[in-house]
Amino acid sequence: MVFANALLLPQPRPPAAAPPSAASDGDTYRRLPSRTAVLRNLDSCSSMAELRQRHSLLVRLGLSHDNHAAARLLRFCALHSSGDPAYALRLLLHLPSPDAFLFNTLLRSSSAATGDHLPIYELMLRSSVSPNDFTFPALLTSITAARSPIAGEQVHAHIFKLGFHHHRFSQNALITMYGSCGRASVARQLFDEMPHRDVVSWTAMAGGYAACAQLDDARVLFDQMPEKNSVSWNTMAAAYLRNGRLREALELVDGMAELDKFTAATVLAAAAEAGAGSRGRRIHARIVGAGVRVDAKLAAAIVDMYCKCGCLEEAMEVFHGLEEKQRGLSCWNAMIGGLAAHGRGAAAMELFQKMEEAAAVAPDRITFLGVLTACAHAGLVDEGRRLFARMQAYAVAPAMEHYGCLVDLYARSGMMAEAEEVIAGMVKAALPDAAVVGALAGACRTHGELELGERWGWRAVELEPHNAGRYVLVANLYARAGRWEAAARVRKLMGERGVEKEPGRSVVEAGGAAAVGEFVAGDTSHPNSGEIYAKVEEMMARIHREGYSPEMAEVLHEVAEEERERPLVYHSEKLAMAFGLINSAAGETIRVSKNLRICRDCHAAAKLISATYRREIILRDRLRFHHFKDGACSCNDFW
């Protein structure tokens, strides 16, 4: 068997130095701490500098080749967050008689994700050290992280050759490895051949199917499990979440008797992505009722869920009710980002200032992305400029998304020259991506800067020729300027290049999640579509009387005037709002989530619907939240 990148064999080691004798250096020897004291102190190390000092004492005591002492050194170097696996390897190379426990410790090191543990195993074999029950699971974990099926097959052969093929820990690790490498059929063969399976075996196989995106197979196996633990539930829920099957992730947890913090965090993320506030609220209630300990990670998941489900006040109530130790960096970022997404720029800035004053955690790139986004959505130009410069104080280098926020901020505010200046400055370090130049082109459409928008819009198309949104932006730019033939040419070009526009899709939850509707424009698939369309007609008739005038600029010019209005009437947002009005009580808030940006016509209509029906409508689109109430929107039409 040959492994790549093998380490060179260690050089012969000098004999161990004898401890100093009392006769030659009695005073010094008496001042050295005892072996027991040094070993005990090794377990309390907090940094590599401290460990090196303790290591030097071991050398002076003549214990540098003691495996028991070396094990404690290796454990810190390999497994502690402040450790140094390279130092551990050098230490191992200088031990005259290393054992399997020492090699296994190094195989479990935090650098497993680099996939460089095969040379360590080869060194183990060259040193005539036999693997034991704990060797292969640790080695296979490294291979799984590196997703290296060829290396996995080599190790599998050795497992069989050395007689560990019936060892359950190794079998479970092989199933996980093959699944992660996209070989679910091989993993299933191993699973079926296992004489004894435990809950880890079943969970590993379900996880293998999930890793290969075979979610239906994973669910069948999950349902067949004779026993499930929290890892089993979390594996299945996380698989649904990763593959966008959010409703199934939420429904799965309904059958879980006891909710733990790991699965809770996973399904809260699913509720956040789905905009399922009622579900998320119930999960939060279960967490509180079960007495689940809310750590910093779970606290961040709860806050993020409420923010993304449009329940900003509840998010703030949870955040301000947390103890300081529960407010980790992710929690601060979730709350600041939530305020930004809801257009609460001043509140986001105020919270950022409190974060700096608390000094418990330092802002990172995500924090600054949140506050810069808040400034862009609220038009806070001076504050955004100051915050961008403030990043240097925290050694946070601006990334593409930070530059994008600054360009967006300037462009939304009509400061096109400043936005172009930012882009020009970026070219010195890295070319701006399509999102950055697209932000400028989109603002040009808003401000009627056709020539500038045309130039940057086509640049966005060049950078992302398969992104339909870039073409739609240019076509809408032409349409808004009345250049219908140019707009039609752009749409024709999309067809020639095989670029398809993602259909707008709106989801609405009404009556406390008793009714959920999902719609695309002109959708008639809902069983109650007749009632829904009648409600749309009623809505439009009522807001027409209140002064509604359809936004026709983005509808193709060659369609007759009265026909051009019909597609606007049946946009997915309007169908969702009609469904919400039908299935909720008077005065209840209607919550809608859309996968794309809300169009101008639906934005104008939603303001009038909120006033006419005396409802608050909270709509989350691809970029932000819009709170419609009493005929106005929280964005102040600055979007």
356-386 pLDDT, tens digit per residue, is 998 789 999 999 999 999 999 999 999 999 9
Position 214 scores a pLDDT of: 95
Alpha helices in 147-214, H assignment, sequence order: 149-161, 168-180, 184-193, 199-211
Position 402 pLDDT exceeds 70: yes
The amino acid sitting at 18 is: A
Number of other residues whose CB lies within 10 A of the CB of residue 335: 29
Q: What is the DSSP letter of 548?
A: -
User: Over 437-454, what HEC string results?
Assistant: HHHHHHHHHHHCCHHHHH
Calpha distance 140→476 (Å, rounded):
53
DSSP secondary structure, 277-343, as one string: HHHHHHHHHHHHHTT----HHHHHHHHHHHHHTT-HHHHHHHHHTS-GGG--HHHHHHHHHHHHHTT
What is the rounded average pLDDT for all residues in the chain?
87
Any bridge partners for residue 632, and if so which? 629
Position 111 pLDDT exceeds 80: no
The percentage of residues in the chain with a pLDDT greater than 70, rounded to a whole number, is 89
Residue 247 pLDDT class (50, 70, 90 cuts): confident
Going along the chain from its start, the domains and CATH numbers come out as 407-496 (1.25.40.10), 508-633 (no CATH)
Q: What is the DSSP letter of 546?
A: T
Residue 612 to residues 567, 578, 634: CA-CA distances in angstroms?
Answer: 22, 13, 17
Per-residue pLDDT, averaged over 2-31, amounts to 45
pTM of the entire structure?
0.81
250-306 pLDDT, tens digit per residue, is 899 888 888 889 999 999 999 999 888 888 999 999 999 989 999 999 999 999 999
Position 427 scores a pLDDT of: 67
Question: How many CA atoms are closer than 13 Å to the CA of 600, on its beta-carbon side?
Answer: 13
Calpha distance 270→7 (Å, rounded):
45
Q: Which helix (H) or strand (E) holds 625?
A: strand 625-629
Q: Is 179 left (phi over 0), alpha (psi -120 to 50) or beta?
A: alpha
**In the chain, what is the straight-line distance between the N-terminal and C-terminal CA atoms, in Å?**
62
536-580 pLDDT, tens digit per residue, is 999 999 999 999 988 766 554 444 444 444 577 889 999 999 999
Per-residue pLDDT, averaged over 616-626, amounts to 94
Position 32 pLDDT exceeds 60: no
Calpha distance 587→527 (Å, rounded):
25
Position 591 scores a pLDDT of: 92
Number of other residues whose CB lies within 10 A of the CB of residue 512: 13
Q: What token pair was written down for 403?
A: 């530059």
